[in-house]
Amino acid sequence: MNLAWYSVATFSGQELKVKQLLEAMIEREQMHDSFGRIEIPHINEEHIKTKKGKKVVKIERRNLMPSYVFIQMDLNDRTRHLVQNIQGVTKFVTVGTKIVPIPESQMVSILPREDGLGADLLPLEVPPVKEGDSIRIKEGPFNDYTGVVEEIMKERGKLKAMVVIFGRSIPVELNFSEVEVL
């Protein structure tokens, strides 16, 4: 069997459901030889918030390519029909009208690594600040404003700070490189 990578478009937010239904259908039809991996490129983001003086850590799954599922399979009439009839699948991704496999060299940048990141995503720098730090914004539309760090989103390279603008405290999302600690 010749396994190659293909992509299917799904309804928004249905990627995980499509993967689970497809895995169940492969099991039921005993078609393990015709299918390999089924992947939904994602990263897990850690959000740290302070509630009533205690840190609360929330891990959230963020799809890197929303509405797409990547399937390693031997494409033939039977497997194509099985995939297209999964609830939530809208269509195979095509070039013109032809279903074309995705080259392995392109899949390397899409598939997750053992550390949970996509292959082309490098670990981000350690944030230069921590929650509660006073900061000054050194570039962008809020240049020279000051604020207090409320949340650090390390995986995205961003932080959320409360900045006083026109006498009101407003949450602003900033890149690590846009701020300096006071």
Pairing mode of beta strands 42-51, 98-99: unpaired
Instruction: Provide CATH 3.30.70.940 ranges for the chain.
Output: 4-107
Instruction: Provide CATH 2.30.30.30 ranges for the chain.
Output: 134-181
Provide the pLDDT confidence category of residue 118 given band limits of 50, 70 and 90: very low
Q: Which two tokens stand for residue 22?
A: 């497809």
| Helix (H), strand (E) at residue 170 | strand 168-175
Mean pLDDT of the region 141-170: 85
Over 90: is that where the pLDDT of 175 sits?
Answer: no
| Helix (H), strand (E) at residue 70 | strand 68-73
Query: Which homologous superfamily does the CATH classification assign to the domain defined by 4-107?
Result: NusG, N-terminal domain (3.30.70.940)
User: What pLDDT shows up at residue 12?
Assistant: 84
CB 10 within 8 A of CB 21: no
Query: Which residue would you say has higher pLDDT here, 65 or 120?
Result: 65
Burial 125-162 (b: 16+ CB within 10 A, else e): eebebebebebebeeeebeebebebbbbbbbeebbbbe
Over 80: is that where the pLDDT of 120 sits?
Answer: no
Q: Is the pTM of the predicted complex or chain greater than 0.75?
A: no
Q: Which CATH class is domain 134-181?
A: mainly beta
Query: Which residue would you say has higher pLDDT here, 120 or 16?
Result: 16
